[in-house]
Structure 1
């Protein structure tokens, strides 16, 4: 439980009383109570206010705000305030200012522009966090620590360059080892002194301002990505250690970027250092439902299935997208429950009161510029707050169970898109999303794991475009399959090692014995080109379109279950299955259309008796299941603009939000949500 003093899903969000006169504060408390808000995030961007000069600290406003929250029964997610350094620091200590990808040194402005390796930044941040922790460690309103905010900065300054060299010395030990790992004899790059190494950016190894990931030396760039992710993580861990020393029992987190798939930071590594993962969810009006679901499942996967915090979402509209449309009536509630359905144990907003100036003044809020409760947005927020209060702790700390997992790996992502070919159309996240969509459309729960995850407990592992095979990964996959598991990978897999050196002897490298094939060539199709997959397996005969890349493969024991229909490699295999131990390894040699993936995933799950959460449902109905003790909680979410009929087998079904018993077939309203509670049967699906 995130906060033992609040045995329910925490409900609230970012609150900035420091931006408002004191007479507004009491009115906010009245409105919070009307909305059912029981947690606020304070102090996110208040460094300049709390430390007006190098030797002066002033927490007076924060003392008042903390005490006011306590008097009104509101818990506090207390931020450390280190997300934006003060102007005086940038002036007196210019090493805190970062240098961008093009080699330009920043001036003071915006946020997230602090060099993560700046000695001055780390020194002042540590001291601020220490003073904050000491001051509020025993405050009765404190529920959660919130370090920094949406951390992430790629810096290319001289300090980072020196630290990069030190990092490389620790990683490789000798220049000979580094030169081998990076293949530096290519283009005469051999290094004879550590000081000869420079950071890879647009002034050195990168070649295209419009495609910044394209680099002449992938090994150097991937190592920089690792170094930078670790550097930013070190800033978070600096704060974490101070906070845990002061308050061992208070959870510490930081809110991860609203993209979810935020490329610069390896969130699987970050997740291991957060007591609870927190995420900011900002889909656009037209973001596909499955895209948001994938990010939510990813957040749950960062700490091995543990519930997470929905730290931010907008109650109405964003301010920073090209077209910031309103959330239509019912959508805020629907999307809030989508997060809960996939593992969130909080529902929180940015922001609680809409600011009057600067770039977020048109970002939605529970309390709009009108300043009162008589708005559509406030009414919807209050209704949701009332529902969450009634739900109490019914499914708090419950888990989603899955027998299938998709591998999503940050280092592999970096390597795939740093590659100089074979196709600009190859986007790692997009390929993973395609396979996720197939599980989503079949309403089958799936975990998101990285390549170092424990595969025990799963029956099916899908690893799209597993280009980089890190040490030990191939052996662990082989053990999984040998014991009876099914493994699926795709084109452009098994190509290179962790430093992006190609594994010679034939693709897919270390995966070749497991897959029972080798790939001779890789054809890159133009955007308007398509080939066909002619599938014949288990009584299934069909033709599907495919594109992007086509591997030209030869079987070495694997069974060919589909072949290409066009071009000079017509008739060559494009889908194979290889028996290995007690299990099977599949290879999909191209990027198929969604219809194939939907049918393919259904077949694989049927083979393993992996059941959908809901056997039958109209399109646009999302279904998940959380379990706790002897109970299961099936979430039904209707993303359609009209009501639909839903059928659930078996009796004993109680709908939590209304308290009514449900018949076998019932109506789910447009944009509606139902949470179906019933006793959990041993080893039985929720449906």
Structure 2
């Protein structure tokens, strides 16, 4: 927690992305902004991320007085600054002088100037120019008392296929595999006669070249992550070399699969992310569950409080439909981030731009710039609430359950060409498992295969197709020593280079789960099967459940069969099994089951693991989350239903520090409870 305490304030951070450079010729607008910020309890702004062309209008000629004035003015009014590095969007002169900085797409076509992140992370010229501007910013502003932390770039993402990247990729592969013979063996290049004679023959995946060598595709994605991380580390080094010791963050993009965010642990001191759920496109409790999952993913990256770096106070301008948030939704969504471990509620954007791409993206201050707008009033309400919940800043979560959600596994799954090429339910299965415990108020970490399992009593393992980082040994040790593992279909199929295990699957875990996978049936969209309980099963299941999309056929050795298929040629084969292994248990789910199945299964397992629920009864659509300090435990109860629900609060143990003491919890309402530790 030491790094997080470096930026801990008396208040939870409230503010967001601000682009004052658009209004330098209108000082009255900047003064009006400050006035509105203060009324809304804004205490931090993020500046500088898209300011390169103004900070360095010509190569080597810097102008920084305007930015220093903004930081000074904010600090004088007790508003801190998160200082962004401008590498996310380069100026025209840079692309003109150094054409190599522009990206080359997978068809080997070089982009024209424009857009964001249209630059090569390998380019020595781009790296040098980024270093120079970062060094200058850090030297001139990095130690300003108003600068809270450095924000590296903006939403790192994308790849480049230029000759520079090809050479770097080949070097990366040579370091990884040592010899071309070893690469050929691991990649299984004899298939389709694609054997390489030397590393120089290897090209990145392309639609006009190689796209079906799955190990190549997988390693390219790993390389892109490694190269992006290396670029970020170089950004960080420039700032450190300038004598600035402020902490670092960079804003991740939620469930973005272009990068493995866990590899950024050595870059950042604080995780942060940009949250843009499509509220009201489906029942709000479902959107809340999906958003909670990503909050927990971000919190688990460093296992400490994170920052909600961007959220829209209104509609977005880039989603298919620019849906307004209904009254109360902004407040509920903001407090959900706090509940799951955020120490901030920050927005994109603070003031709407007058022109260009995001002129209609929601903002705290719109083009009218009045304080009587619905959105501004709701932002003020959020600010007032956060000011009253300042004691939550720095508090943590200590989950005893985790879900294993691994980016590299996801890459491999989506590229596997079977058993279902459209609608492979990886995210859905993860969400169902996660939701099965979350509806009980059980907090979860969202981990990957590189993490330890030793802190948990329950580990959920959805569709872990690819095994790496010794995960089979970790699972075996976890169960053997008393843990409960819940693994689903299509797990343990391939190794880290997407090569199939040859001696039974799940790979090296057939003894732990007491079974062996045989076949996988992909169901058409209109097909379904049913899981029937075995009479006298250990979970006391009485009802049947529907399954769709995928049905796996397994052969049991030691495992006990708890449910079987109702029909088809695999009628009577297992759907749910449990194997006692050492001191623990290993459950295996053979089919893509409906949510009710996961709810019932995980409630039974929660009792079996003696995980205490925070409340004895939680109505449907209500989320209960826990944060704690050394002295106190905080219970955050949120109703994500638009209508009120009956709710009994545990006031014999807790006191209310936010919200109302009523028998009904209003739609989108939040109550925060506190009890002191003994």
Task: Give per-residue Cα distances to partners, 1:571-594, cap 9 Å, x unaligned.
Answer: 111211111111111111111111
| Alpha-carbon contact 2:449-2:469 (below 8 Å) kept | no
CA distance change for structure 1 residues 555 and 103 in 2, over 3 Å: closer, same or farther? same
Q: How does 1:101-250 map to 2 (within 5 A)?
A: 101-206=106-211, 216-246=212-242, 249-250=245-246
Q: Which whole-Å deviations, capped at 9, do the CAs of 1:236-277 have from their partners, x for residues lacking one?
A: 1111223244456421100111xx111011111223421000
The answer on 1:18 being equivalent to 2:21 is yes
SS at match of 1:540: coil
- SS of the equivalent of 1:382 reads helix
Segments ≥4 residues shifted beyond 3 Å: 1-5, 244-249
TM-fit CA distance, 1:654: 2.1
Q: Which residue of the partner structure matches residue 12 of structure 2?
A: 9
* SS across alignment from 1:357: coil
Q: 1:369 aligns with which of 367, 370, 374?
A: 367
1:347-386 to structure 2, matched below 5 A, reads 347-386=345-384
Give the SS at the match of 2:168. helix
In 2, Cα distance between equivalents of 1:345 and 1:247 = 27
Q: Is the 8 A contact 1:114 1:153 kept in 2?
A: no
Matched pairs, number: 664
Any residues of structure 2 matched to 1:644-659 within 5 Å, and which? 644-649=645-650, 651-657=652-658
Secondary structure at the aligned position of 2:234 is classed as helix
Structure 2 match to 1:412: 409
Q: 1:36 aligns with which of 17, 22, 41?
A: 41
Q: Note if contact 1:39-1:75 (Cα within 8 Å) is conserved in structure 2.
A: yes
Q: Distance in 2 between matches of 1:343 and 1:190?
A: 49
In the alignment, what sits opposite 1:56? 61
CA-to-aligned-CA distance 1:208-262 (integer Å, 9 cap, x gap): xxxxxxxx111000000000011111111111223244456421100111xx111
- In 2, Cα distance between equivalents of 1:643 and 1:38: 33
Alignment partner for residue 264 of structure 1, among 258, 273, 278? 258
Corresponding position: 1:398 with 2:395 = yes
Q: Which structure 2 residues correspond to residues 233-382 of structure 1 after superposition, within 5 A?
A: 233-246=229-242, 249-257=245-253, 260-285=254-279, 286=281, 288-304=287-303, 306-382=304-380
TM-score, length of structure 2 as denominator length: 0.95
2:511 matched residue in structure 1: 513
What is the CA–CA distance in structure 1 between the aligned matches of 2:15 and 2:651, rounded to whole Å? 37
TM superposition shift of 1:411: 0.8
Per-residue CA distance 1:450-472 (angstroms, 9 max, x = gap): 11111112111111111111142
Which stretch has the larger CA shift, 117-126 or 98-107?
98-107
SS at match of 1:549: strand
Does residue 421 of the first structure (1) align with residue 422 of the second (2)? no
CA distance in 2, matches of 1:196, 1:235: 26
Q: 1:10 to 1:3 in 2, by over 3 A?
A: farther
Q: Which residue of 1 aligns with 2:595?
A: 594
Aligned residue runs from structure 1 range 65-104, under 5 A: 65-104=70-109
| Residue 35 to residue 462, structure 1, CA distance change in 2 (3 Å) | same
Q: Secondary structure at the match of 2:82?
A: strand
Structure 1 residues 423 and 141 mapped into 2: Cα distance closer, same or farther (>3 Å)? same
Quote the offset at 1:348 in angstroms: 0.6
CA contact (8 A) 1:487 1:584 kept: yes
Contact 1:406–1:462, Cα closer than 8 Å, also in 2: yes
Unaligned 5+ runs, structure 1: 207-215, 682-687
Q: Quick check: 464-473 or 336-345, which moved more?
A: 464-473
- Structure 1 residues 263 and 367, CA gap change in structure 2 (3 angstroms): same
1:222 aligned counterpart, secondary structure: helix
SS in 2 for 1:647: coil
Separation in structure 2 between the aligned mates of residue 107 and residue 193 of structure 1, nearest angstrom: 33
1:400 match: secondary structure: coil
Counterpart position of 2:550: 549
In the TM superposition, residue 4 of structure 1 has moved relative to its aligned partner by 4.8
Counterparts in 2 of 1:241 and 1:355: CA distance versus 1, 3 Å: same
Identify the residue that residue 388 of structure 1 maps to in structure 2.
386
2-side partners of 1:530 and 1:244: how far apart?
58
Q: 1 CA distance for matches of 2:109 and 2:541?
A: 58
The answer as to whether partners of 1:469 and 1:510 remain within 8 angstroms in 2 is: no
Partner of 1:458: 456
User: 1:352 Cα deviation (Å)?
Assistant: 0.7
350-359 vs 639-648, greater mean Cα deviation: 639-648
Task: Give the match's secondary structure for 1:625.
Answer: strand
Structure 2 partner of 1:642: 643
Q: Which moves more between the two structures, 607-616 or 9-18?
A: 607-616
Taking only aligned residues, the RMSD between alpha carbons, in angstroms, comes to 1.6
- Tell me what 2:583 maps to: 582
* Counterpart secondary structure, 2:544: strand
CA–CA distance in 2 between the matches of 1:548 and 1:177?
37
What is the CA–CA distance in structure 2 between the aligned matches of 1:247 and 1:290, rounded to whole Å? 43
